[in-house]
Structure 1
Amino acid sequence: MNFHTRDFLKASATLLAFSALAGFISPSQRVKAANNVRVVTKIYSSAKPEQSTWASVKKYRHDIPVQFLGINDLHGGLERTGNATFGNTKYENAGGAVRLASYLDSAQASFKKMAKNGKTFRVESGDMVGASPSNSALLQDESTMHVLKAMEFKLGTLGNHEFDEGLGEFHRIVVGGKPTKKYNSAEMNYPHQKSGLEIVISNVVDRKTGKAPFNFKPYVIQTVKGKNGQKVKVGFIGILTNTMPTLTTYQNYHPYKYLDEATAIAKYDRILRKKGVKAIVVLAHTGVASTVDSNTNQATTTGPSVDILQKLYKLDPKNSVDLYLAAHSHQYANAKVGHTVLLQSIYSGEAYEDAIGYLNPKTHDFAKNSLVGHVFPVMSSQQDPTIKDNSKVAAIVKDADERTSLIVNQKIGEAATAQSLTGRDKNNQYDENETGDLVTDSQLAAGKEAGQKQGLTVDFAMTNGGGVRAGLAVKPDKSITWGAAQDVQPFGNILDIVSMTGQQIYDVLNQQYKNYGAGHHTYLLVSGLKYDFTSNDDKTQPYKVTKIYTNDGKGLDLNKSYNVVINEFLKGGGDFFNQFKEAKQVGTAGVDTDVFVKYIEDQTKAGKPITAPKLDRKNFVGKAQ
């Protein structure tokens, strides 16, 4: 469903505080709390594998070289690009499936040149689909599965977005089954083919049977062959964040139970070791929080993935988890927790993970200190013309564009200027962006219209920041297309009208600032109201909402009931906004994607071309007394 952590923007800004740093910052931060293993955060300045330092091939000449190329949170981003920041270097327009494929091929070729008899695994850590741009979403993300197959990804795990339309639908596109219901003509005519992707998941079980759904395996074992008939087995364990009830709708998450991540890893780590498998990789859809203190020049890696690994070491100090490929929080991560290398490669193909090590045929584990992890950017052809576009993937993307073009390119409205509206990648310091405010404006308008028909007065609208997936693109001729609107609101969530007291509204807005920065920072976008907030002397809630008022400046009555438009995801307590679960539903207001499209159409027809809203709905007023 919706992505539920703060984008890497804040972390990127702090990373930029490093000035004139070259090479590996070693170590930029070390943490050794009581009963916890040490965490060492790393930042490399190299942009390509051939510029990087790996363990010596000569030193490990009797061992078997192995490479792991990983990605996370692709989200159907066949052509989507963004800014990837590594230390003090920014890579603009990074990403896109075509460039990603080329960089993976280049990284593998570089490895083969270094270690001629090496083995490469291409793996993914979830959210390959869902919250996707039109050329993937309109094809039920099957175009993305075609791309993954072309890029030779063989192993992956589940992310929360694999549940967006029910896990059964995701399984269908993995195995290449025919659609179970009628979609648009482009999807119905699209080739349905097996992806060749094996899903590994250890902590998701069917609520009724207690077994993994769709015969997914909790782990798989792969054999790596070396010279002279040598063989070493590598185990892969998959896990998904157990916060799933906050990440998708009830009907999508409720059929399954989500077990404790560290306990599941420990269980299957022991099973694998009993089978003689001591080289173990975890594909984990769990987040990290990476920051740099500009005052001390120290980097830190925290968040759920670190917590899970710390717990694993307490459950089993002798665990053999060597590599942990994280996801979900859309941030850069390169750290070591105990002996475990922890990596995450941002978002939407903007970067990729490249871990290389050597397997010892005698110990059946990685040779000591041989596993080195990097995260590299996927640069645009302008920044790196030496890497040529992957023609096979380019053909798949072009075909997807052509199949969906009639729908995507349909003009639905106009903007006042040819300037695109900002999205969540360009939030202001208060977590507000132009497209997000426009989305809530559209939902409030739909709520008022629906309310009139249902005998309701609708006052406000709120939506979760992660549900607004992109900025609203405006063409040079000021036109806005259906595809641009769908890219902003791709989920098709039902909009509910709920009754909330003024006190409940205060409470839910304050929930934004609880556990702020703890690896799952979330926020709300609002329409029809504004609020003041201030700093708060509480580590668990560093900010506090002090005043909420309507657009005409009238303060909310704590005891009065107001009608608010929210999506069904929030109504179920999504993004940790549990207060919404207490709200009483009194009506409905349509589907978010349709509502946004209609709003752009209606505004244009009324002679009101779309303009960027002023970002003044959240006002910081200083420190609380």
Structure 2
Amino acid sequence: MKSKGSKYTLLLGTALLGFYLQANSIHAATTTSSNGQPVTDNVTPLVQTNKDEASTPQATTDWADPAQYQHDVPVQILGINDLHGGLETTGSATIGNNTYSDTGTVARLAGHLDSAEESFKAANPTGTTIRVEAGDMVGASPANSALLQDEPTMHALKAMNFDIGTLGNHEFDEGLAEYMRIVNGGQPVKQYNEAAMAYPHVKSGINIITANVVQKSDGQIPFGMQPYLIKEIHTSDGKVARIGFIGIETTSLPILTLYDNHKDYDILDEAETIAKYDRILRKKGVNAIVVLAHTGVSTDKEGNTKGNAVDIIKKLYQIDPNNSVDLYIAGHSHQYANATVGSVKLVQAIYTGKAYDDIIGYIDPTTDDFVKGSLVSHVYPVLSEKDAPNVKTDANVTAIVQDANRRVAPIINKKIGEAAKPGDILGRLHNTATRENAVGELVVDGQLYAAKKAGLPADFAMTNTGGVRADLHVNNDRSITWGSAQAVQPFGNILRVVQMTGAQIVKALNQQYDEDQAYYLQVAGLHYTYTDQNDPNQPYKVVKVYDQNNQPLDMQKTYNVVINDFLAGGGDGFSAFKDAKLVGIVGQDTDVFIDYITDMTNKGNLITAPVMNRKIYMTAAQLAGETTKHNEKDQSATQSVTTQTDKVVNQPTAPVVVIPATVEQPANTVQLNAESMRKAGTNNASVNNSLTNLTPVGLNSRTNRPTNKQAILPQTGDNDELSWLLLGTSLMSMTGLTLIKRKRKQA
């Protein structure tokens, strides 16, 4: 009986342990998406970066051999993203390991697209070229487009034969209705400047598709847009093939545009929406599928490709490992990318017309799918006439730009001020290591000045760097024009003065340091020190904040802060601004910046680049050294007071306020770093009492949701599963001990 009992106990323990492991394995392998579809967690497609070493399609050696695809349909996809009305925008473009200078302008872009198409058709006489865009064609535009409601940009796209596009976040800048008006060539429904009202309102011919933007009222896609488009291709030799395009908006839209512009819409999950319409297209027999998605990605010089678009494709594979998506044209992050995720080609062509995507493949007309191995993707720079004299600048597009310039010239060429010296004051493409830039700080200096001028005394000003769009161009005679200032602040956002506590301000500053500092602030009226912390979701924390009089920020005191209405709505994820109480309205940011330059010039304060010392990074060791020096100074001052009472001595400086890390805790609790507080020599009660409404470790401090970088740390486990595990393990252990004891007795 004892022998059999031990065996039964062992069997029972093993069975229970196996039951637990099986249940846990199933749980780990499959979860459910928000639309009820199963998501298989163990499907992880390989990410492989594709090399871009050639600067032109003609110099590329890895195109598929057309001779191998005589029975198939040749297709070329030419794509762009994030044009932002950059009719004449130029700059450097880094693609792979190569950096090209003086790239861009729509006239040069048009010439390069034509050259790429000619090269393709020379090798594939029956081929078809389709031109597409992945959003943000308009918005944050220079004056020659923005002053004309971006209609010159739509005219240029029409002249370049763009056929299909999707929505970016900037298509919502003036409301989706206004964007659809300029797409369709309708008459303005609002009164704009005289030049804009007189500009020709012409239909662009672009089919705008979006699958995941739906009206909250009825779940329908607005303005009659379609979720996908099927393009039927007829070749000159009688072949017919079909290719499907799906349009996708970023789910980050609510933090990227004003509340009134997105409040009527739901933005559905990107991967789930792609999977849904991928299935629909396959049921229709369409298996060659292209996604146009305004979601970011980047490929660095080390060959690493990462970003939201990669995560979306990985999730798509989890939802449907057998999906038929072949190509994903990305946008939004303004960076270069060329990779293959699973079997999906993924590209992004920087921004403002500095580069373009060129993808060539062959569709089997019997399956309506790309022949395996035939699809090749590349990204090329839009080279200047000097660097590519064989590429013709498009005359029609040039005429569109020149016409726009003529119409807005009286406005943009007006002198508004002077700089102390010639040469541009540089912006966000020339950030310091601490994410400061000269023109950004000039902007917030102007906003702080404007608030006080309007009778709304403000302590600080902060703006999102995404709203500071360009360098401030200064002419050789040191003059600054209206157009140069407008290019820096093109949105016309409303500036408001709001009340915030010191703790709320610190929270906003700390929100710069999640998401790899993708979103950060330019600040005026304060300066601060930040240091490292051991949290992959937020690797830095703010530890000292001072006002312009070098006084430490009081966590409980209320301050007046100038922000724009984009930030007031939690834009760029700065949720700390959302609950701030409105004190008053200053005006539009564009007008404020222009007026600031004029006022300073009239007062004899010629415009100069600010000294960028408002964000100071220190290592933990440097910070500890500063604190030690400070304490020694305090001690020395105290001794001096006690030994020299008959002399006037300097009072010790105010104690340093050490702010705990914003690895935030649940509401109404504070977890201070005791060691850092001890080193800082402070036990400031106001710090303890004011830092509330904080978020648990592992959550995004903006959304209170698990971050993509790291899931919430595991808890002690599910009680039911743990009970089975412990019971099974205990029974097996008891059996083992019983057997050992019996053997000893027998011995």
Question: Equivalent residues in 2 for 1:283-302 (5 A)?
Answer: 283-292=292-301, 298-302=302-306
Distance 1:179 1:372 in 2: 42
Per the alignment, residue 599 of structure 1 pairs with 596
Distance 1:536 1:51 in 2: 48
Per the alignment, residue 583 of structure 2 pairs with 586
Question: Equivalent residues in 2 for 1:191-590 (5 A)?
Answer: 191-226=200-235, 228-292=237-301, 298-450=302-454, 452=455, 456-516=456-516, 521-590=518-587
- Does the 8 Å contact 2:43/2:317 carry over to 1? no
TM-score (norm 1): 0.92
Report the CA distance between 1:290 and its aligned residue. 2.9
One-letter amino acid of the structure 2 residue matched with residue 431 of structure 1: R
Distance 2:125 2:75 in 1: 11
Distance 1:215 1:169 in 2: 14
Structure richer in strand, relative to its length: 1
SS of 2:386 mapped into structure 1: coil
Distance 2:582 2:590 in 1: 20
- Does the 8 Å contact 2:96/2:300 carry over to 1? no
Distance 1:361 1:513 in 2: 51
Matched, 1:46 2:50: no
Question: Equivalent residues in 2 for 1:41-80 (5 A)?
Answer: 41-52=49-60, 53-80=62-89
Question: Which structure has the higher relative contact order (CA within 8 Å, separation 6+)?
Answer: 1
SS of 1:145 mapped into structure 2: helix
Per the alignment, residue 111 of structure 1 pairs with 120
Distance 1:513 1:342 in 2: 28
Distance 1:317 1:35 in 2: 7
Distance 2:103 2:620 in 1: 38
SS of 1:575 mapped into structure 2: helix
Distance 1:228 1:80 in 2: 41
- Does the 8 Å contact 1:39/1:335 carry over to 2? yes
Distance 2:422 2:171 in 1: 35
SS of 2:516 mapped into structure 1: coil
Deviations 1:244-290 (A, max 9, x none): 11000010011111011111111111110000000000000011133
Q: Which of 1 and 2 has greater Rg?
A: 2
Report the CA distance between 1:139 and its aligned residue. 0.3
Deviations 1:488-512 (A, max 9, x none): 0000000111111111111110100
Distance 2:453 2:585 in 1: 11
SS of 1:598 mapped into structure 2: helix
Distance 2:187 2:594 in 1: 29
SS of 1:596 mapped into structure 2: helix
Distance 2:386 2:505 in 1: 48
SS of 1:170 mapped into structure 2: helix
Distance 2:236 2:89 in 1: 42
SS of 1:120 mapped into structure 2: strand
Which sits farther off after the overlay, 161-170 or 223-232? 223-232
- Does the 8 Å contact 1:76/1:144 carry over to 2? yes
- Where does the alignment leave 5 or more consecutive residues of structure 1 unmatched? 1-32, 293-297
Deviations 1:17-61 (A, max 9, x none): xxxxxxxxxxxxxxxx95311111122110000111201111112
Distance 1:449 1:75 in 2: 33
Deviations 1:447-466 (A, max 9, x none): 1122x2xxx53100000010
Deviations 1:223-245 (A, max 9, x none): 11236422111000000001111
Distance 2:341 2:303 in 1: 14
SS of 2:44 mapped into structure 1: coil
Deviations 1:36-93 (A, max 9, x none): 1111112211000011120111111221110000000000000011110123321112
Report the CA distance between 1:388 and its aligned residue. 2.1
Report the CA distance between 1:218 and its aligned residue. 0.3
- Where does the alignment leave 5 or more consecutive residues of structure 2 unmatched? 1-40, 622-675, 677-747
Distance 2:504 2:452 in 1: 21
Matched, 1:623 2:620: yes
- Does the 8 Å contact 2:43/2:321 carry over to 1? no
Report the CA distance between 1:622 and its aligned residue. 1.5
Which sits farther off after the overlay, 609-618 or 379-388? 379-388
SS of 1:516 mapped into structure 2: helix
- Does the 8 Å contact 1:76/1:136 carry over to 2? yes
Distance 1:488 1:448 in 2: 22
- Does the 8 Å contact 1:43/1:86 carry over to 2? no
Distance 2:552 2:319 in 1: 51
Matched, 1:150 2:147: no
Q: Give the % identical residues.
A: 56
SS of 1:552 mapped into structure 2: coil
SS of 2:596 mapped into structure 1: helix
Structure richer in helix, relative to its length: 2
SS of 1:582 mapped into structure 2: coil
Deviations 1:290-332 (A, max 9, x none): 334xxxxx42111111111111111111111000000000010
- Does the 8 Å contact 1:430/1:618 carry over to 2? yes
Matched, 1:134 2:134: no
Per the alignment, residue 7 of structure 1 pairs with none
Distance 2:237 2:482 in 1: 59
One-letter amino acid of the structure 2 residue matched with residue 48 of structure 1: T
- Does the 8 Å contact 2:298/2:306 carry over to 1? yes
One-letter amino acid of the structure 2 residue matched with residue 618 of structure 1: K
SS of 1:505 mapped into structure 2: helix
- Does the 8 Å contact 1:423/1:433 carry over to 2? yes
Which sits farther off after the overlay, 218-227 or 95-104? 218-227
- Does the 8 Å contact 2:229/2:245 carry over to 1? yes
- Does the 8 Å contact 1:345/1:353 carry over to 2? yes
One-letter amino acid of the structure 1 residue matched with residue 381 of structure 2: P
SS of 1:412 mapped into structure 2: strand
SS of 2:68 mapped into structure 1: coil
- Does the 8 Å contact 2:256/2:572 carry over to 1? yes
Report the CA distance between 1:383 and its aligned residue. 2.0
Which sits farther off after the overlay, 85-94 or 487-496? 85-94
Deviations 1:434-490 (A, max 9, x none): 11000000000111122x2xxx53100000010000010001111000000100000
SS of 2:492 mapped into structure 1: coil
> Considering only aligned residues, what root-mean-square deviation do their CA atoms show, in Å?
1.2
Report the CA distance between 1:386 and its aligned residue. 2.0
Matched, 1:98 2:107: yes
SS of 2:233 mapped into structure 1: strand
Report the CA distance between 1:170 and its aligned residue. 0.3
Stretches (4+) displaced over 6 A: none
Deviations 1:589-611 (A, max 9, x none): 11100100000010011111111
CA pair 571-241 structure 1, distance change in 2 beyond 3 A = same
Deviations 1:127-174 (A, max 9, x none): 000000000000000000000000000110000000000000000001
